Amino acid sequence: AQSVTQLGSHVSVSEGALVLLRCNYSSSVPPYLFWYVQYPNQGLQLLLKYTTGATLVKGINGFEAEFKKSETSFHLTKPSAHMSDAAEYFCAVRLTGNTPLVFGKGTRLSVIA
């Protein structure tokens, strides 16, 4: 079975500070990993994904994530938070094949001016 754990349901940072959103997964096979962002009353938008290859993945809006197999982690970072980054962020995992994505419970990011 696969599962995703996002540490911290709510993270608050100051504008210009580092953003770090944590995601750990469990999977018996090499996973495909995703980060999505959701703004209020909207659908989810793909930020970045890891499938194979380079373990440091760059996404949209200045976000990046690093796949660390030894730590079973895929944490999302951004060097400098902007007010527009305030949203909910979801980590998701998928095995190879056609199994559906499994999502974490989400982390709400607040950015303080």
Partner 1 sequence: DGGITQSPKYLFRKEGQNVTLSCEQNLNHDAMYWYRQDPGQGLRLIYYSQIVNDFQKGDIAEGYSVSREKKESFPLTVTSAQKNPTAFYLCASRPESYYGYTFGSGTRLTVV
**C-alpha radius of gyration, the chain, whole number:** 13
63 in contact with partner 1 (CB under 8 A): no
Residues 6+ apart with CB under 8 A from 111: 12, 13, 14, 15, 81, 82, 83, 85, 86
44 in contact with partner 1 (CB under 8 A): yes
Give the residue with the Cβ less far from partner 1, 34 or 67: 34
45 in contact with partner 1 (CB under 8 A): yes
| 62 DSSP assignment | G
Give the residue with the Cβ less far from partner 1, 1 or 113: 1
Two tokens at 10? 């709510």
Two tokens at 104? 């974490």
Cβ of residue 64: shortest distance to partner 1, in angstroms? 17
**What residues numbered 76-95 form the site for partner 1, per CB under 8 A?**
90, 94
Chain residues in the site for partner 1 (CB under 8 A): 9, 32, 34, 36, 41-46, 49, 51, 90, 94, 98, 100-106
